[in-house]
Structure 1
């Protein structure tokens, strides 16, 4: 007969924990939060120390009745929500509903869902941590004040449906500023000269470096011609040769932001997908005879700390698999990446380094396996020896002009045997070998290749780049990155083009108004300082009411000024060249919740509307009647579909190319991977470089 009730957030977590605890425990799920602020009103009593007015979340009635009935049949109730602010708040709300004493030892936390970790946690229950609860409440109240005070103002002055938020507004501002940088960017010309050389049977390249011993920039074709004239027909004579050994250290184990970035680079996962799959791995996977096991530790963390037990297990695996040489003399310890890191949990790691990816492959989905493999490899590599590279730098002189060749060779792979961190431009580390060269040697020149270049504007933000920037600026915390990216797209403030963020006209308009009347909300430093104050609430060193009160004093003044001075903006309809097929009137462009669309100018007599589409020049491969057009999803993502929808439901996330497959005549689409664009056939798989396809189409 069970004498204890354990409440967690999800059924998957309940299933895993239930197997570990045995028949004396009933384990049930609250299905996340049970109370929240009402959607229909601000729900915060500003004049009463910002006290929140919580209500039971709609649809939770049956779950709550089940939990209340179960709690009456047991002697003890344990609250085992996730080990973070949100989890602590869920536990506090449950304690309130079930009339439990929050000072009683009812709270159980564990960083990993393994049998030993869970059993150890239940030996050491604690009271609910009100500092954590207040930190969560403070964030919720602060976000509610910003959102529910500014949004109605925007509705009144601009149009209904607009909204503003605290962290997401800064994210949109970053994207908006980057777009302005790109638009204002003026390319500058520069040139390079590459010498294609041979020494014996070995071929290698050297780049122009200096003239007369002084570094020189090649800014024009005239500069190039001057250097070539100075070189004349002189042979390339080897000058200074530098050889040295260089060590490369492994990356630290994952934290939330680095996991999201690397999953985007290597697995093409969006931040929300990464966190969804990580949650599944954390809550547990059925491994057959071994039972249900949590495969990774808690995935919302900004700490790179690793427990000694985990380090010992990693050592056992590394030495057993690769040998003593692959293990450093002392275990690696990684410092906190930034001063704001809370260090409340360990880094994200496998719950057992001995459980390699292949051993779980048969029990996991494709995406679960790929993410687990990434986490496992990163952790194991983080505990391994440094890689050792032999590097070589050679100066070659063609008269007074010096070219430089660089090469490297992997001498000892160390951690690179298991894993190498990706990067945003998709380049990889490869050996660039140089032949044996000594001063005085002569190298033969097969070709001298001048090339014109132009400086490039800063790149648009991908999800990975934006997460990294938010982290560097100290904006948001591990649990907020993925929801922030989702929110700014749902509100149509930004759109995704080729997996990069661009601001929409709606986003531009809101940011301009916010900049004028609420500059603090958009100020990265102000927002980061506010995050720091909220962290101090969590640490118990600041009172949450005082933090909110200090913010609200100046915020209310801004609201009053905006109410008086913000002019009503009329978003005028923009005429189009299209004619309404229902009444013959001219169609106009209107701004809607999900961006621009076409509407009949005869409204309200004619209510005809249609989306704005961009032609691709490709016939629909499914129905052969329509043609493929570019569309946007409600989240702002570009996709491609038949213009005869809903008659034809053809859809593609990849951009079609106006050229049939040369092998089978099927539709070709653009595929981007590791910084390169290939054109692949959707039928037979034929693949070619994008440049080749463009030339063929022309």
Structure 2
């Protein structure tokens, strides 16, 4: 009897998911992208610039055996689910798989899940959809831009300054640096001075800044003016205003991809590459003896939204472990412009899996990063 086939991106994720689904399913992986733009044609772009930027795709050399195995697996199955990562890149990989494997692209066979847990995977299988062509076109446009800018600009830079490469991101970053440098060069510094004093009144010491001189607001432009005013000050001073402020410090929102990389760099000394590599393992699944489960939600996100179910679980957990007074009021963040918000912020898949409870199953670096993510979310 033929099985249903589930195709994911990563081999380690396929092993985790296979344990959830039982004997009716087979799970395999594409190991990322299976094809890319050709390097043939004018300028080796793999893009027909004169014909509405039509891309030409070829199967990657190192993926020919993978494609061969996938075609055999498809032939031996009675239905295929495309379960690549839940982002724009993952959507494009699903489309490429459908094209190369001859799948019907009108079928509702695309499934997505934000965390590698049994409940999330089973729920995704109950809610399949069609491949989102808008996301596919978005990724395709970005890839075409990468190729055109990368190939053309890289050749120019190699010729002029012997630089290795440039691309869609580096070229814009360089432009921003140049603009900022020009601002710095154009800046005209203006000298200014302040006069401060320490006072003792009723055995209380406090400091103050000279705000007015001869009942006029003062601006001091150089040391001579400062010394002149200082010499003419008498010993009687009037406190013109006392400002009291009260500050509330809100909890920080859960991590996004960029804030996780920043925190891991400053607190753990991890490079961005190392952070994402460890996060990928935590997302795809860790063997906890009794079960294999993803410990964190998908780590490529710019959203700080948290699911209602996680928030409820976390509130109950905090009250039970720390006491009711520690259950804080959550600050609801307004959705920012240009935030895709397709996923939640990065959080543990279960608040019950505290860092200490899973420590023996993690490497030291995995434990440290998981603890950082868990603490920030909870």
How far does residue 214 in structure 1 lie from its aligned partner after superposition? 5.5
Matches within 5 A, 1:131-210: 131-152=134-155, 158=160, 163-182=165-184, 188-192=190-194, 195=197, 206-210=207-211
Q: Deviations over 1:651-682 (max 9, x none)?
A: xxxxxxxxxxxxxxxxxxxxxxxxxxxxxxxx
Change (3 A) 1:244 1:163: closer
> Where does residue 366 of structure 2 map in the other structure?
368
Counterpart-to-counterpart distance in 2, 1:239 and 1:99:
80
Q: Deviations over 1:59-95 (max 9, x none)?
A: 1122222222222222222211101111011111111
> Where does residue 286 of structure 2 map in the other structure?
285
> Where does residue 352 of structure 1 map in the other structure?
350
Change (3 A) 1:314 1:164: same
Structure 1 residues without counterparts, runs of 5 or longer: 381-698
> Where does residue 120 of structure 2 map in the other structure?
117
Larger mean Cα displacement after TM superposition, 169-178 or 212-221: 212-221
How far does residue 371 in structure 1 lie from its aligned partner after superposition? 2.4
**Correspondent of 2:103 among 100, 104, 109:** 100
How far does residue 2 in structure 1 lie from its aligned partner after superposition? 6.7
Task: Determine if contact 1:8/1:28 at 8 Å carries over to the other structure.
Answer: yes
How far does residue 118 in structure 1 lie from its aligned partner after superposition? 0.9
How far does residue 312 in structure 1 lie from its aligned partner after superposition? 0.4
Task: Determine if contact 2:47/2:54 at 8 Å carries over to the other structure.
Answer: yes
Task: Determine if contact 1:102/1:127 at 8 Å carries over to the other structure.
Answer: yes
Task: Determine if contact 2:212/2:218 at 8 Å carries over to the other structure.
Answer: yes
> Where does residue 333 of structure 1 map in the other structure?
332
Work out whether 1:130 is the aligned partner of 2:138: no
Change (3 A) 1:222 1:137: same
**RMSD of aligned alpha carbons:** 2.9
Secondary structure in structure 2 of the residue aligned to 1:28: strand
Counterpart-to-counterpart distance in 2, 1:195 and 1:161:
55
Change (3 A) 1:175 1:264: farther
Work out whether 1:306 is the aligned partner of 2:309: no
**Correspondent of 1:85 among 66, 77, 88:** 88
Secondary structure in structure 2 of the residue aligned to 1:250: coil
Counterpart-to-counterpart distance in 1, 2:349 and 2:122:
15
Structure 2 residues without counterparts, runs of 5 or longer: none
Greater helix content: 2
Counterpart-to-counterpart distance in 1, 2:306 and 2:61:
40
> Where does residue 48 of structure 1 map in the other structure?
51
Q: Deviations over 1:520-555 (max 9, x none)?
A: xxxxxxxxxxxxxxxxxxxxxxxxxxxxxxxxxxxx
> Where does residue 73 of structure 1 map in the other structure?
76
Secondary structure in structure 2 of the residue aligned to 1:104: coil
How far does residue 171 in structure 1 lie from its aligned partner after superposition? 0.6
Q: Deviations over 1:568-615 (max 9, x none)?
A: xxxxxxxxxxxxxxxxxxxxxxxxxxxxxxxxxxxxxxxxxxxxxxxx
Matches within 5 A, 1:392-403: none
Greater strand content: 1
Q: Deviations over 1:410-458 (max 9, x none)?
A: xxxxxxxxxxxxxxxxxxxxxxxxxxxxxxxxxxxxxxxxxxxxxxxxx
Task: Determine if contact 2:37/2:57 at 8 Å carries over to the other structure.
Answer: yes
Secondary structure in structure 1 of the residue aligned to 2:93: helix
Counterpart-to-counterpart distance in 2, 1:137 and 1:270:
29
Change (3 A) 1:317 1:148: same
Counterpart-to-counterpart distance in 1, 2:354 and 2:210:
47
Counterpart-to-counterpart distance in 1, 2:208 and 2:258:
37
Q: Deviations over 1:620-651 (max 9, x none)?
A: xxxxxxxxxxxxxxxxxxxxxxxxxxxxxxxx
Task: Determine if contact 2:8/2:84 at 8 Å carries over to the other structure.
Answer: yes
Counterpart-to-counterpart distance in 2, 1:369 and 1:28:
28
Secondary structure in structure 2 of the residue aligned to 1:59: helix
Counterpart-to-counterpart distance in 2, 1:165 and 1:58:
23
Q: Normalised by the size of structure 1, how large is the TM-score? A: 0.49
Secondary structure in structure 1 of the residue aligned to 2:27: strand
> Where does residue 500 of structure 1 map in the other structure?
none
Q: Deviations over 1:221-241 (max 9, x none)?
A: 33443454345555x776754
Counterpart-to-counterpart distance in 1, 2:105 and 2:338:
29
How far does residue 309 in structure 1 lie from its aligned partner after superposition? 0.4
Change (3 A) 1:238 1:108: same
> Where does residue 296 of structure 2 map in the other structure?
296
How far does residue 300 in structure 1 lie from its aligned partner after superposition? 1.7
Q: Normalised by the size of structure 2, how large is the TM-score? A: 0.86
Counterpart-to-counterpart distance in 2, 1:227 and 1:268:
50
Q: Deviations over 1:288-315 (max 9, x none)?
A: 33x2221221122222222110110121
> Where does residue 320 of structure 1 map in the other structure?
320
Change (3 A) 1:198 1:299: farther
